[in-house]
C-alpha cells in the first residue's frame, strides 16, 4: 500500500492481511454493535481512511508530522461540511492511520498521538469538528460496560460534532465548551487566527514550522489551565 492512499472503509474488499482489510474489519465490528452512526457512513461510502508511514525519528517530530497529516484531512472535512446539510454530517468521517517508523517503539507513538489529538481538539472544536485518538491494544468499555473492539493501529478519527451528544467531552474546559456550542465550519481555526496561509494546510510543511510552534505554546498554556480546573474541582468535592 502506498503511503497516503485513501479508501472508503469496507469498499472494496482488499486482500487479506493488508492494513485496509484489518482496519475495515475493526471498523465494521465497531459499527455493528457500538456506534449507530458508523454503519450508515460505511454504507454511504462516506467513512474514509488514509494510512501514512511516518518518517520522524523522535516523538516531537512524530507528533508534528502526524498533526499536519490530520490538518489536511480536517480541512477536507470542513469543505464537505460546508457543502452538505447538517442532517448529512453524522455520516461524514475521516480516519487518519499511522504506521510508525521501525526506530520508534509504540510508547513514544502513543505519546505523540495524544499530543497531536490535543492540538487538533484546540484547533478544530470551533469549526464543529471532533477528533478521537486510538492506539493498538487499547482496551475500553462502552457505557453499558461492554468491551469495545480493540484497534490494531494508531489512528485519529475526525468527524462532525453531534451537538446533543458530544458536549460531555468538554466538561472540564468552559472555554472549549463554549466554542463547541458555537462551532461552525466557517469559524477560523487557531492556525488561521495565527495567520497560517492555506497552502501550509494543504501539504505538511518543512519543520520547524512557526505556526505549529505558536500552536504548541497555546496548547501548553491551555493544558495547564485545564489541569488547574480539574484540581480545583477535586478540592471542591473534597471540601464539600
| pLDDT, tens only, 72-104 | 999 999 999 999 999 999 999 999 999 988 877
Strands 47-53 and 5-8, bridge-based pairing: antiparallel
- CA distances for 175 relative to 85, 122, 126, angstroms: 27, 10, 10
Distance CA 60, CA 65 (A): 9
What percentage of the chain reaches a pLDDT higher than 70?
91
Q: Is the pLDDT of residue 207 over 70?
A: no
Question: Largest Cα–Cα distance in the chain?
Answer: 59
| Cross-strand partners of 96 | 50, 156
Q: Which residues contact 173 (CB under 8 A, 6 or more apart)?
A: 222, 225, 226, 229
| pLDDT, tens only, 33-43 | 888 899 999 99
Q: Which domain holds residue 95?
A: 5-239
Mean pLDDT (the chain) is 87
| 237: confidence class by pLDDT, cuts 50, 70, 90 | low
Total domains in the chain come to 1
**pTM for this predicted structure:** 0.90
Q: How many CB atoms lie within 10 A of CB 172?
A: 13
Amino acid at each position: 500500500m502506498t503511503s497516503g492512499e485513501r479508501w472508503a472503509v469496507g469498499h472494496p474488499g482488499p486482500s487479506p492481511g493488508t492494513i485496509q482489510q484489518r482496519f475495515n474489519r475493526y471498523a465494521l465490528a465497531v459499527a455493528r454493535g457500538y456506534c449507530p452512526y458508523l454503519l450508515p457512513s460505511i454504507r454511504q461510502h462516506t467513512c474514509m481512511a488514509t494510512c501514512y508511514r511516518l518518517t520522524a525519528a523522535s516523538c516531537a517530530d512524530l507528533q508534528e508530522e502526524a498533526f499536519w497529516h490530520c490538518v489536511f484531512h480536517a480541512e477536507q472535512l470542513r469543505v464537505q461540511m460546508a457543502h452538505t446539510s447538517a442532517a448529512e454530517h453524522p455520516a461524514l468521517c475521516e480516519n487518519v492511520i499511522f504506521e510508525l517508523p521501525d526506530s520508534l517503539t509504540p510508547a513514544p507513538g502513543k505519546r505523540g498521538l495524544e499530543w497531536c489529538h490535543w492540538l487538533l481538539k484546540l484547533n478544530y472544536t470551533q469549526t464543529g469538528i471532533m477528533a478521537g485518538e486510538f492506539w493498538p491494544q487499547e482496551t475500553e468499555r462502552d457505557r453499558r460496560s461492554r468491551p469495545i473492539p480493540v484497534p490494531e493501529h494508531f489512528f485519529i478519527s475526525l468527524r462532525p460534532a453531534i451537538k446533543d451528544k458530544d458536549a460531555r467531552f468538554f466538561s472540564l474546559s468552559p472555554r472549549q465548551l463554549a466554542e463547541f456550542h458555537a462551532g461552525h465550519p466557517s469559524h477560523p481555526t487557531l492556525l488561521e487566527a495565527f495567520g497560517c496561509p492555506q497552502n501550509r494546510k494543504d501539504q505538511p510543511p518543512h519543520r520547524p514550522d512557526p505556526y505549529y510552534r505558536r500552536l504548541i505554546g497555546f496548547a501548553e498554556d491551555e493544558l495547564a489551565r485545564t489541569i488547574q480546573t480539574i484540581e480545583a474541582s477535586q478540592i471542591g468535592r473534597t471540601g464539600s
